[in-house]
């Protein structure tokens, strides 16, 4: 594939990946700059290779040398990683060598990435040029996999550059020798910053950085990021917010070649609803055959399993097609990654596990199955293809249903416009702060006034009040309960010198076991045994993990799809789900919690705009445009800012369908609240179902008649005041809040993480998070951990702020259309009825059914 004269160098003897260092013909200016900033060995080495550095690499070096922290925003393939390390390498190159007998020096540069694998990748790729230039620089990784003897040695003889993860930084800070270990630190390089900052891991990392700045006041940070909507948020994140408003310098590298993205214009009929995109399998398979390596992205692990299965069914040529998602066994994932690196695969079906900046092999086509849900997410995923900035990436979007066609179109338009919709940063979480406060105490005694100032210098916590901080410290010490029972069991205590200290070495031990912000759902290993051996079968390989709640719904003999295989469920043995080879027609696909991204606000607005403007329908496939025309004829299409609500009878029920386009989570919350209100209005609602685009509620009574009689009016039904008491009342009993509470309680250190093998004894020895939640809620509803839980749930699972924005936007703009029958636009959501049930308070009715069955069987009814 002769695409560029330099290709042979990249593919052949280039010792590190293309994205790290590449041949470019840069403007002469860059060369002059290079001559100024780069030490002699670097220039000689560049000369030997016939290469020259890029302008942004030199610019970053110059800014760093002037003492600034810097944010580098660049698309994939721009040589970001090298740029990030250039200030460290040039400085280390000219640093005087340590004389024998002199004390070992501390870490010079800390590199932090969200993925262990990325740290390992960088070690390999940075080592080669360092060796060739002849730099006296040591580079080592420190991750959860690093053996303890190596960790010990790293403490005594620290490497110059340490590559690690946010959790490991937290652990290093909690060690008694932290200050000495970091006293020579000059730079912290933060890779994939855009993905780190949006989560609680980002909060933990921001607090860690604040601690490092306390050790080394002149510390500089270098953030590497993909394009984001609000660069200034990241610039503030990188530096101390004391004084407030400080920002890192900014270098932006304009996007490379415009990606070549198309939407599949299928010969087949695009379905009304569903997510499988099964209709497009033959066309996807043809595309795979036409390309060297195809990367297929899906949004969820269930979809990955399904797509993989369907592709193999179509795979007449037995092309090497692999599956990669986060629930598969690590060994299997590594094998797939290796095969990919060796270009031994023709296609890989993957979820977001491959989203981040690792690239393997020569991907020349990205297929995105299902709607991308966000324009920035689409851009980042498509960046996987080629990974060369100057060549266009090639991608095909496969919408799984008709609304997704609109969404794909909107994402594609956004991509051409360069629009970004990365989520805004949120305030630092209090459970993470609790963990950090304990970690700081494990490292060294702290003064509360000083620590408060330090915490507030981290951007996510800039708005923290002293009162909240003191409550967090109180929580860490004794649980922070109104009933002061636990003074004598305090984990940290204020001593006479005014400093807070850990009260017992055991506290630090417990802290180290529980550090981090990633709390998994309870999971079971999937253990394979030979068929016919049942539960007695001896242990075969572990195929991966599935969530406990899914395994619990299986019956021995059920067949389900996992790791690309049909498996027969044999039973649950301790913390393992035992399976054998399966077959048969009724195959269940596991559902996984999380992983379903809601439609971004930006795309939602674009889709509403597209619906309202029939001129833009020309860009849509004919069958989809027809569908919209039909809707216009039979009902109405809302204006961009309006909310359309349709009502119609069907069977002996009355339906109401609303089209807010605010994403599934916000719609679910809205559905819960609307049904509560309709219940009070005696409309006798029976249920609701929510999709990313719309919401359907059904009731025994005629809701249209109620609206007409203004009992209540439609405007009153959708009034913002539903977010007050109704939300509060519903929330308190919601299973979503319990799930969120568990996560917060683990992060905050109230309950311990579950480790494999502990599950069995766990139920009897420890107290389940649900029980703690119930007791705490009824006795101290204002407890700080419940506050943190409500904040989390409102932002995450419930998307309350988005719902609030929508309700205020549509005030006075709700358009009611009463119909004799279902409208074309309503069909997709109506098809979801019965497929997705909302997990509400229906457990009692299930018990009732079971009990009635028993009665019936015994002839007592």
Partner 1 sequence: MNFSLTRTSLIAEADLVGIAGERAVCDPRGVLFFPELRLLAVSDLHLEKGSSLARRGALIPPYDTGATLLRLQAVTSDYQPSIVISLGDSFHDGGGAERMHASFRERLEALMAGRDWFWVAGNHDPEAPADLPGETVRELAIGSLLFRHEPSKVRVEGEIAGHLHPCARIVQRGRSVRRRCFAGDGGRMIMPAFGAYTGSLNVLDRAYAGLFRLETLMAYMLGSDRIFAISRSMLRPG
Compute the least distance from the CB of residue 747 to partner 1, in Å: 15
Which member of 103, 156, 585, 857 binds partner 1 (CB under 8 A)? Answer: 857
Compute the least distance from the CB of residue 134 to partner 1, in Å: 52
Token pair of 287 as six digits: 């595309």
Which member of 478, 635, 694, 823 binds partner 1 (CB under 8 A)? Answer: 478
Compute the least distance from the CB of residue 771 to partner 1, in Å: 6
Instruction: Specify whether the CB–CB gap between 769 and 738 falls below 8 A.
Output: yes
Q: Which is nearer to partner 1, 668 or 694 (CB)?
A: 668
- For residue 751, state whether it binds partner 1 (rule: CB under 8 A): yes
3-state helix, strand, coil in the chain (%, to 5): 45, 15, 40
Compute the least distance from the CB of residue 503 to partner 1, in Å: 9
Site map (CB under 8 A) of partner 1, residues 524-553, x = contact:
-------------------------x-xxx
Q: Which is nearer to partner 1, 466 or 779 (CB)?
A: 779
- For residue 48, state whether it binds partner 1 (rule: CB under 8 A): no
Q: How far is CA 588 from CA 542, 562, 563, 569, 820, in A?
A: 20, 9, 13, 11, 37
Q: Which is nearer to partner 1, 324 or 545 (CB)?
A: 545
Which member of 767, 813, 821, 856 binds partner 1 (CB under 8 A)? Answer: 767
- For residue 775, state whether it binds partner 1 (rule: CB under 8 A): yes
Q: How far is CA 382 from CA 151, 376, 439, 849, in A?
A: 38, 10, 39, 49
Q: Which is nearer to partner 1, 114 or 480 (CB)?
A: 480
Q: How far is CA 609 from CA 614, 694, 823, in A?
A: 10, 15, 20
Compute the least distance from the CB of residue 505 to partner 1, in Å: 11
The three-state secondary structure class of 65 is helix
Q: What is the C-alpha separation between 264 and 422, in angstroms, rounded?
A: 25
- For residue 329, state whether it binds partner 1 (rule: CB under 8 A): no
243 prior amide bond cis, ω within 30: yes
Residue 94 contacts by C-beta under 8 Å, 6 or more apart in sequence?
39
Q: Which is nearer to partner 1, 120 or 588 (CB)?
A: 588
Only segment of 61-69, 353-361, 484-492, 808-816 that touches partner 1 (CB under 8 A): 484-492
Which among 253, 195, 251, 186 is positioned nearest to 221, based on CA atoms? 186
Length of the chain: 861
Which member of 97, 99, 267, 555 binds partner 1 (CB under 8 A)? Answer: 555
Only segment of 67-75, 228-236, 267-275, 767-775 that touches partner 1 (CB under 8 A): 767-775
- For residue 738, state whether it binds partner 1 (rule: CB under 8 A): no
Cβ neighbour number for residue 290 with a 10 Å cutoff: 10
Which member of 750, 784, 814, 825 binds partner 1 (CB under 8 A)? Answer: 750
Q: How far is CA 448 from CA 349, 428, 474, in A?
A: 50, 18, 11
Compute the least distance from the CB of residue 570 to partner 1, in Å: 12
Compute the least distance from the CB of residue 579 to partner 1, in Å: 15
Angle between helix 40-49 and 116-133 (nearest 10): 90
Instruction: Specify whether the CB–CB gap between 731 and 796 falls below 8 A.
Output: no
Compute the least distance from the CB of residue 694 to partner 1, in Å: 25
Compute the least distance from the CB of residue 491 to partner 1, in Å: 6
Instruction: Specify whether the CB–CB gap between 71 and 223 falls below 8 A.
Output: yes
Site map (CB under 8 A) of partner 1, residues 500-519, x = contact:
----x-xx--x---------
DSSP 191: T
- For residue 854, state whether it binds partner 1 (rule: CB under 8 A): yes
Q: What is the C-alpha separation between 221 and 627, in angstroms, rounded?
A: 52
Q: Which residues of 648-664 are buried (b: 16+ CB within 10 A; e: fewer)?
A: bbeeeebbbbbbbbbbb
Which single residue is written with the structure tokens 């055959």?
289
Q: Which is nearer to partner 1, 609 or 840 (CB)?
A: 840
Residue 102 contacts by C-beta under 8 Å, 6 or more apart in sequence?
none
Q: What is the C-alpha separation between 79 and 56, in angstroms, rounded?
A: 9
Q: Which is nearer to partner 1, 25 or 857 (CB)?
A: 857
Which single residue is written with the structure tokens 């009635």?
852
The radius of gyration computed from the CA coordinates of the chain, to the nearest angstrom, equals: 29
- For residue 735, state whether it binds partner 1 (rule: CB under 8 A): no
Site map (CB under 8 A) of partner 1, residues 823-852, x = contact:
--------------x-x---xx-xxxxxx-
Compute the least distance from the CB of residue 756 to partner 1, in Å: 17
Beta bridge partners of 413: none
- For residue 589, state whether it binds partner 1 (rule: CB under 8 A): no
Beta bridge partners of 646: 657, 817
Compute the least distance from the CB of residue 755 to partner 1, in Å: 15
**According to CB under 8 A, which residues from 592 to 631 bind partner 1?**
none
Q: Which is nearer to partner 1, 230 or 574 (CB)?
A: 574
Exposed / middle / buried, residue 492 (Cβ in 10 Å: 0-12, 13-18, 19+): buried
Compute the least distance from the CB of residue 575 to partner 1, in Å: 11
Which single residue is written with the structure tokens 């005694």?
445
Q: Which is nearer to partner 1, 390 or 552 (CB)?
A: 552
Compute the least distance from the CB of residue 272 to partner 1, in Å: 24
- For residue 764, state whether it binds partner 1 (rule: CB under 8 A): yes
CA angle 264, 265, 269 (to 5 degrees): 110
Q: Distance of alpha carbon 158 from its chain centroid, rounded?
A: 32
Characterize the bridge pairing of strands 542-547 and 576-581. unpaired
Compute the least distance from the CB of residue 749 to partner 1, in Å: 9
- For residue 491, state whether it binds partner 1 (rule: CB under 8 A): yes
Q: Which is nearer to partner 1, 230 or 849 (CB)?
A: 849
Compute the least distance from the CB of residue 848 to partner 1, in Å: 7
Exposed / middle / buried, residue 96 (Cβ in 10 Å: 0-12, 13-18, 19+): exposed
Which among 641, 622, 608, 558 is positioned nearest to 825, based on CA atoms? 608
Which among 722, 688, 692 is positioned nearest to 800, based on CA atoms? 722
- For residue 4, state whether it binds partner 1 (rule: CB under 8 A): no
The three-state secondary structure class of 205 is helix
Q: What is the C-alpha separation between 187 and 189, in angstroms, rounded?
A: 6
- For residue 768, state whether it binds partner 1 (rule: CB under 8 A): yes
Considering CB under 8 A, how many residues would be counted as binding partner 1?
Answer: 50
Only segment of 475-483, 661-669, 684-692, 814-822 that touches partner 1 (CB under 8 A): 475-483
Which member of 772, 793, 800, 814 binds partner 1 (CB under 8 A)? Answer: 772
Contact residues toward partner 1 (CB under 8 A) are 478-479, 481, 483, 485-486, 489, 491, 504, 506-507, 510, 549, 551-553, 555, 571-572, 750-752, 763-764, 766-768, 771-772, 774-776, 778-780, 783, 837, 839, 843-844, 846-851, 853-854, 857-858
């Amino acid at each position: 594939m002769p695409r560029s004269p330099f290709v042979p160098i990249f593919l052949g003897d280039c010792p590190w990946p293309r994205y790290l260092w590449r041949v470019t013909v840069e403007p002469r200016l860059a060369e002059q700059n290079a001559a100024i900033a780069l030490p002699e060995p670097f220039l000689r080495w560049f000369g030997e290779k016939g290469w020259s550095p890029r302008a942004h690499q030199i610019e970053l070096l110059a800014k760093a040398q002037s003492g600034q922290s810097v944010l580098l925003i660049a698309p994939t393939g721009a040589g970001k990683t090298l740029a990030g390390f250039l200030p460290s390498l040039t400085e280390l190159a000219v640093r005087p060598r340590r004389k024998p007998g002199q004390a070992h020096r501390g870490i010079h540069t800390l590199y932090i990435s969200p993925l262990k694998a990325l740290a390992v990748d960088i070690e390999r790729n940075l080592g080669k040029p360092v060796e060739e230039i002849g730099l006296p620089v040591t580079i080592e990784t420190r991750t959860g996999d690093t053996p303890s003897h190596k960790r010990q040695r790293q403490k005594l003889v620290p490497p110059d550059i340490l590559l690690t993860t946010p959790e490991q930084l937290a652990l290093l800070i909690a060690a008694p020798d932290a200050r000495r270990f970091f006293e020579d630190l000059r730079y912290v390089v933060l890779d994939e910053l855009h993905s780190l900052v949006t989560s609680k891991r980002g909060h933990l990392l921001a607090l860690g950085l604040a601690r490092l700045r306390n050790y080394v006041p002149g510390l500089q940070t270098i953030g590497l990021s993909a394009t984001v909507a609000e660069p200034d948020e990241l610039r503030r994140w990188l530096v101390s917010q004391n004084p407030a408003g400080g920002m890192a310098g900014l270098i932006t590298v304009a996007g490379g070649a415009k990606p070549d993205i198309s939407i599949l214009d299928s010969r087949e009929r695009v379905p009304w609803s569903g997510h499988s995109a099964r209709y497009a399998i033959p066309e996807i398979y043809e595309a795979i055959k036409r390309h060297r390596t195809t990367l297929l992205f899906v949004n969820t692990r269930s979809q990955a399993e399904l797509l993989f299965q369907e592709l193999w069914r179509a795979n007449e040529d037995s092309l090497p097609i692999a599956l990669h998602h986060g629930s598969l066994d690590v060994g299997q994932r590594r094998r797939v990654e290796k095969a990919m690196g060796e270009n031994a695969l023709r296609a890989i079906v993957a979820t977001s596990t491959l989203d981040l900046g690792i690239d393997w092999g020569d991907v020349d086509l990205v297929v995105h199955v299902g709607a991308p849900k966000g324009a920035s997410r689409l851009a980042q995923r498509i960046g996987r293809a080629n990974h060369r900035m100057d060549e266009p990436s090639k991608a095909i979007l496969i919408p799984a249903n008709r609304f997704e066609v609109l969404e794909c179109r909107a994402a594609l338009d956004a991509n051409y416009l360069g629009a970004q919709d990365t989520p805004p940063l949120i305030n630092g979480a209090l459970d993470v702060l609790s963990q950090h406060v304990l970690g700081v105490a494990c490292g060294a005694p702290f003064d509360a006034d000083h620590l408060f100032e330090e915490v507030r210098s981290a951007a996510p916590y800039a708005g923290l009040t002293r009162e909240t901080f003191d409550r967090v410290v109180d929580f860490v010490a004794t649980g922070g309960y109104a009933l002061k029972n636990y003074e004598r069991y305090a984990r940290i205590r204020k001593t006479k010198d005014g400093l807070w200290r850990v009260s017992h070495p055991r506290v630090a031990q417990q802290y180290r076991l529980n550090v981090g912000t990633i709390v998994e759902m309870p999971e079971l290993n999937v253990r394979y045994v030979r068929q016919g051996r049942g539960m007695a079968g001896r242990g075969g390989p572990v195929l991966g993990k599935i969530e406990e709640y899914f395994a619990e719904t299986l019956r021995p003999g059920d067949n389900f799809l996992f790791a690309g295989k049909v498996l027969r469920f044999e039973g649950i043995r301790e913390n393992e789900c035992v399976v054998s080879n399966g077959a048969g027609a009724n195959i269940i696909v596991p559902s996984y919690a999380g992983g379903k991204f809601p439609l971004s606000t930006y795309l939602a607005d674009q889709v509403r705009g597209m619906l309202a403007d029939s001129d833009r329908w020309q860009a849509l496939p004919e069958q989809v445009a027809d569908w919209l025309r039909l809707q216009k004829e039979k009902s109405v299409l809302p204006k961009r800012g309006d909310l359309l609500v349709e009502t119609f009878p069907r069977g002996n029920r009355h339906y109401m369908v609303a089209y807010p386009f605010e994403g599934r989570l916000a719609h679910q919350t809205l559905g819960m609240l609307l049904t509560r209100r309709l219940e009070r209005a005696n409309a006798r609602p029976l249920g609701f179902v929510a999709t990313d685009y719309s919401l359907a509620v059904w009731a025994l009574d005629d809701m249209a008649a109620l609206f007409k009689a203004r009992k209540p009016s439609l405007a009153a039904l959708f009034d913002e005041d539903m977010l007050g008491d109704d939300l509060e009342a519903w929330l308190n009993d919601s299973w979503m809040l319990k799930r969120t509470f568990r996560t917060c309680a683990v992060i905050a250190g109230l309950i311990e993480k579950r480790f494999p093998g502990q599950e069995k004894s766990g139920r009897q020895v420890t107290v389940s998070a649900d029980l703690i939640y119930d007791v705490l809620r009824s006795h101290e509803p204002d407890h700080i951990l419940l506050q943190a839980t409500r904040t989390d749930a409102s932002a995450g699972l419930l998307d309350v702020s988005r719902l609030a924005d929508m309700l205020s936007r549509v005030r006075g703009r709700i358009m009611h259309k009463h119909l004799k029958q279902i409208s074309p636009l309503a069909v997709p959501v109506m098809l979801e009825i019965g497929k997705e049930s909302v997990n509400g308070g229906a457990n009692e009715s299930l018990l009732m059914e079971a009990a009635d069955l028993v009665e019936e069987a015994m002839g007592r009814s």
